Structure 1
């Protein structure tokens, strides 16, 4: 598992090759099996493969989403605050589980932060996303996960990046 964590790096450049149905299903299974507080499962996922929808989502905020238009797959991660007060954490766990599953299959992924981000006019990026995918008002958008075949492989993390000075035992 540590080797997989070490290898997983954000990927913003994908090839044109589409994911297979089985690959997409494995990503979704990892999200649906992810742990949640009190097993509330407050998440919802919207799978996006259509180029025009990915292009629209890539414009939801001014920075950090443009590359989504070049990804073959996006998965919007939403949460229901009425189901759980820790929906952000539950949805985040599901998102990283999908990213680790993608890495285990040799696929690339990147987390596009949407929650608490604004568009160029000062509107919440999550509201833009909900309009594009027709999500219910009561749901909140955590982010969009971009997936695809890596256009290039990045070097894995090394021991040199470990911030051991941030580890504290018993007391800070």
Structure 2
């Protein structure tokens, strides 16, 4: 798939077919994540690949917004080591988007499930819940969980109508990019 087609096609897919993702696809997706840029090339990422159905169902209980994981045959927990880089959130976010674009290019659907600074329940953060569930060390922070699978729902590609030229400024805020 051509790059701009991939970008337009990438949508949040929350329903997946019960079909296993080939291991070579998972490796290609992870490879794309490792090609993402990072602050000072520190590469603070860690990825927990979860393909065990029971464990994915527990991840779906992290918070209500992650219930879509219930049907995902694959989840990738995107983390960052705050001891390696204070910019881990940004670096891990870029890697997470590379994961989503690579999966789209392979014909898969994805959805980002936010974990950082969210709550599992009144007493426990979503991050602590995931950390305990997967045995993630304290200094490794949990950014998000990306559900991945063959789509069981269709969404249209993005269109040029969504391009917000009014939010693009030339040289100074308020100077329109598109001259009339």
Match of 1:23 in 2: 25
Q: Could you tell me which residue of structure 2 aligns to residue 151 of structure 1? A: 152
Alignment of 1:87-126 (within 5 A): 87-126=88-127
- Runs of 4+ in structure 1 deviating by more than 2 angstroms, as ranges, are none
1:119 Cα offset (Å): 1.8
Query: Residues 13-66 of structure 1: CA distance to partner in whole angstroms, max 9, x if unpaired?
Result: 0000010010111111111221111111101000000111001111111x2101
Partner residue in 2 for 1:134? 135
User: How many residues align structurally?
Assistant: 171
* Residue 76 of structure 1: aligned partner: 77
Q: Report the CA distance between 1:123 and its aligned residue.
A: 2.0
In 2, the alpha carbon distance for the partners of 1:166 and 1:35 equals: 25
Residue 51 of structure 2: aligned partner: 49
The CA distance in 2 between the partners of 1:54 and 1:121, in whole Å, is: 22
* Alpha-carbon displacement from aligned partner over 1:67-124 (angstroms, at most 9, x marks no partner): 1121000000111111111100100011000100011011000100001111221421
CA deviations on 1:139-169 (whole Å, 9 max, x unpaired) are 1100001100011221011111111111111
Write the distance in 2 (CA, Å) between the matches of 1:122 and 1:67.
Answer: 23
Root-mean-square deviation (Å): 0.9
Secondary structure of the structure 1 residue equivalent to 2:65: coil
TM-score, normalised relative to structure 1:
0.96
| Uncovered stretches (5+) of structure 2, i.e. residues with no partner | 174-180
**Which piece of structure 1 moves more, 50-59 or 120-129?**
120-129
